[in-house]
Amino acid sequence: MERHIIIQDITPCLDNGLYPLKRLAGESLGVEATVFRDGHDRIRVVLRWKAADEKDWREAPMQCVNPGLDRWMGGFLLEQNSRYAFQIEAWTDRFASWIADFRKRVDAGVPDLEGEWTEGLRRLTPRAATASGADAKRISQGVRLIERRDAEALLAEPFCTQLQESAAKTDERQDAVRSPESQVMADRTRAVYGAWYELFVRSQSPVPGRHGTFRDASRRLEDIRGMGFDVVYLAPIHPIGRTGRKGPNNSPACKPGDPGSPWAIGGPEGGHDAVHPELGTLEDFDAFVTAAGKLGMEVALDLALQCSPDHPWVAAHPDWFFRRPDGSIQYAENPPKKYEDIYPLDFDSTDRKALWEEVRRIVLFWAGHGVRIFRVDNPHTKPVAFWEWLIRSVQEEYPDVLFLAEAFTRPPMMLTLAKAGFTQSYTYFTWRNTKAELSQYMRELRSGAAAEALRPNFFANTPDINPYFLQAGGRPAFALRLVLAATLTPSYGIYSGFELCENAALPGREEYLDSEKYELKCRDWDEPGNIRALVRRVNSIRRSNPALQRPEGIFFLDSDNDGVLAYVRHTLDRSNILLVIVNLDPSNVRESMVSIHPPSLGLAEGSRLRVHDLLSGETYVWGNRNYVKLDPAKTPAHILKLERTI
C-alpha cells in the first residue's frame, strides 16, 4: 500500500532517535510531532510505549494542538526505573472522514444525500460487532440514526464526537504508519540529585602511618552523613601492583612500604573483582556498603579499566593490551608524565569480545555486592560503542545502576558519552571562575542537546585536580566554590580534604603536593580553619529546597559588579524560589546592586519581596534594585529564600 501519512519532527529527540532520552521515573514524557496526510481525510494519532520488561505496547491518543501546522501532542507516565521504547502511530479515520464530509454537505444544504447515507452505513455498521460496552451501544445508536436519516441527531454534540471516538476504537488501521522507535531511560532520583564525597579508604585510619581499612572507613560514615552527603565515592579498592610501583608524588623511586597508586590495579591477590588485602575482605566491604545504606548513603566505586603489570589479565589475556614493536606491553603515558605502573587495555583488540564481556562481568559482580553507582575513569579513551553496549547491558539487569563519566576532554566527546548512556558527567566547572565564564557555561549546559543528555556533576576538586583558584584563594575560595557547586546544579562533589581547605600544590601545577594518590594520609577532621559547618549548612539547604534538586529553573540576574554573580533557582511551578548571590573574589569585599524583575519570578510588577538568608539567618526586604556587600572572609554568599511578597 502506498504511504499517505507523514510523521516528522518528533520532539524531544536525540540525534533522530539514535540515543535514548533521559528522564526520571515518576515523571511524564511529553511528545510532539508533525503528522498529516495527503487529501482531506481525517487521521487518528496515538503514542505507543512499553517498558523494557513489557511485551505488549500501551497507547494513548495524541491531540492536534495546532491544526494549521498539523502539530500533535501526547504523553505517558514513566512509571518505573526502566528503559522505555516509544513511537507514534497514525492512520486514516474512515468514519470521522465521512462525518466531516457529510457535515459540510448538510451545512451547504445539498438536497440529495442518499449516497452519503449509504456510505455512512457501510463505514459504521460492521463496527457494532467488534465494539463492546458503551462503545457498542453508541455505535448501534449511530447506525439507527443513519438508517432513519436523522442528520440533526447524528451531528449533535457531544454525541457526534463521542460516536467518532467509539468508532475509532474499532479501526482496522489499514494504512497505519509508525515512526521509528525512540527510547527514554527513566532513572531514579540519584541520577539527577546528590552530594558526593570522595575518599581513599586506606587514609581513614586514625593512627598516622597505619593503613586504613573498611572498618576504619565505616567509622567515618556518620561524620560524612552528618555533613549532608548522599554518595560516598571510593578511590579504587583493588589489589595494587608491585611492578613499576610509584613512590610519593608519582616518583619512580618507590621505597619499601610505599602503598603505590590505587589506579595501578591488580596483583597476585587478584584483579578488578578483588579487594586490597590491607583494606580488609570482601565481607568487610559488604559491611561497609550496608552501614552506608543504613545512614541513607550509597557507595560509588571507581571503574578504572586499566591494569598493573601484575594483574592476572596480563598473563591470561596478553592480547588485551597494546604491544610495542619489540613485543613488550605499552605502559600509560600522558607526556611528560609516565605511568610505568599502568597498562592500558586495547578495546579494539582481536579478542575484544572476551574483554568486553569480562568488563561486564566485573560491573555485574560489584552490582551484586550492592554497588549501584560507578565513577568511570577516563571513558573517552575507550570506544563509545563499548560504553553504549556495556551501560545498556548492565541496566537490563540492574536498571538502577548509574554511571558517572570522568571525561575531562573535548566537549563533543563529553556530550557523545552522555548520549551513549552515561548518567552524569564531570564538567569544566572546576576551571570556570569569572562571572562571564560561569554564566556562559551554565547556558551551554542548559541549551540544545546538552540540556537533554548531559547531566553535570560539579566536582569542586579531585585527587587529580588542585585548581589554581583554590591554591591562591585560601579558605574564602573554598567557601565560595562550595556554594557555587552546590547551588548551580543538583549534583556536586568534593574530594576529602576540601572541607579542611587543603591546597598545598606542586610548584606551578594543578596537582597536590604529597598527593594521596601515592601515600597514606591521616587527617585531623576538626583542624582549625575548616569549613565543615558551611558544608553541613549548604547540604541542609539543598535537602530542604526542591529548587536545588533539579537542573531546570535557573536564570541570571543583573549585578553591576563583575565580581558578584547573582542567579535565581526555582521550581517550575515557582513554589520554591531562591536568590543566590556569590562574591567570586576570595581576596576582596565586593559591593553591588542586584536587579530583580518580579514578573520573571511569577510575581506582579513592583512587588516587594521578603527574603530569608538561609546562610546567615537574616531577613531582608528586596525590590527591583538591591544593595549587597559580601566579605569573603566572613560570608561569601547570600542564599535568599523568597518567603512572601509584601
Residue 320 lies in a domain: no
- Beta-sheet pairing, 177-178 with 182-187: unpaired
268 band by pLDDT with thresholds 50, 70 and 90:
very high
At 190 the pLDDT is 98
At 338 the pLDDT is 85
CATH of the domain at 364: 3.20.20.80
Provide the angle, in degrees to the nearest 10, between the axes of the packed helices 159-168 and 133-147: 120
- Among 32, 187, 216, 377, the active-site one is 377
Cell numbers describing residue 129: 460487532
Does the annotation mark 216 as catalytic? no
Dihedral pair phi/psi, residue 190, rounded to 5°: -60, -15
Does the annotation mark 269 as catalytic? no
pLDDT averaged over the chain? 96
Q: Which CA distances in Å does 289 have to 53, 222, 265, 436?
A: 28, 13, 21, 42
Q: Note the pLDDT tens digit of each residue in 491-537.
A: 999 999 999 999 999 999 999 999 999 999 999 999 999 999 999 99
372 shares its domain with 408: yes
Q: Which CA distances in Å does 573 have to 23, 314, 443, 597, 601?
A: 18, 56, 21, 17, 10
pLDDT exceeds 90 at position 545: yes
Residue 95 lies in a domain: yes
- Beta-sheet pairing, 564-570 with 625-630: unpaired
Which residues are registered as beta bridge partners of 90?
45, 177
DSSP state at residue 522: -
Domain final position from 141, 158, 186: 186
489 shares its domain with 568: no
Question: How far from chain centre, in Å, is Cα 493?
Answer: 14
149 band by pLDDT with thresholds 50, 70 and 90:
very high
Q: Which residues touch 83 (CB under 8 Å, ≥6 apart)?
A: 20, 51, 52, 183, 184, 185, 186, 392, 395, 396, 399
CB 23 within 8 A of CB 63: no
Cell numbers describing residue 133: 460496552
Closest CA to 637 of 579, 559, 562, 598: 579
* Burial class, 410, CB count within 10 angstroms (exposed 0-12 / middle 13-18 / buried 19+): exposed
Q: How many domains does the chain have?
A: 3
For residues 118-124, give the mean pLDDT: 95
9 shares its domain with 152: yes
CB 175 within 8 A of CB 5: yes
At 569 the pLDDT is 98
Q: 6: part of which helix (H) or strand (E)?
A: strand 5-11
For residues 541-547, give the mean pLDDT: 98
CB 265 within 8 A of CB 271: yes
Residue 348 lies in a domain: no
Residue 350 lies in a domain: no
* Alpha helix (H) residue ranges in 512-558: 532-544
pLDDT exceeds 80 at position 278: yes
531 shares its domain with 567: no
458 shares its domain with 495: yes
- Among 135, 216, 406, 452, the active-site one is 406
Residues in the chain: 646
For residues 383-395, give the mean pLDDT: 98
Domain final position from 516, 548, 580: 548
135 shares its domain with 240: no
For residues 401-418, give the mean pLDDT: 97
At 1 the pLDDT is 56
Residue 318 lies in a domain: no
Q: Note the pLDDT tens digit of each residue in 634-644.
A: 999 999 999 99
Report the Cα–Cα distance between both ends of the chain, in Å, rounded.
66
469 shares its domain with 582: no
pTM of the predicted model as reported, rounded to 2 decimal places: 0.94
At 162 the pLDDT is 96
Place of cell 603489570: 309
Q: 225: part of which helix (H) or strand (E)?
A: helix 214-226
162 shares its domain with 201: no
561 shares its domain with 501: no
At 3 the pLDDT is 85
Kindly state the greatest CA–CA separation across the chain. 106
539 shares its domain with 501: yes
Report the share of the chain in percent with pLDDT over 90.
97
CATH of the domain at 618: 2.60.40.1180
270 shares its domain with 383: yes
Residue 204 lies in a domain: yes
142: domain range?
Answer: 5-186
2 band by pLDDT with thresholds 50, 70 and 90:
confident
Cell numbers describing residue 502: 587543603
pLDDT exceeds 80 at position 163: yes
452 shares its domain with 536: yes
Domain final position from 186, 209, 240: 186
CB 478 within 8 A of CB 531: yes
CATH of the domain at 124: 2.60.40.10
For residues 263-289, give the mean pLDDT: 98
At 232 the pLDDT is 98
- Pairwise CA distance, residues 423 & 73, whole Å: 27
Q: Note the pLDDT tens digit of each residue in 307-352.
A: 999 999 999 999 999 999 998 999 998 888 889 999 999 999 999 9
Residue 568 lies in a domain: yes
Residue 329 lies in a domain: no
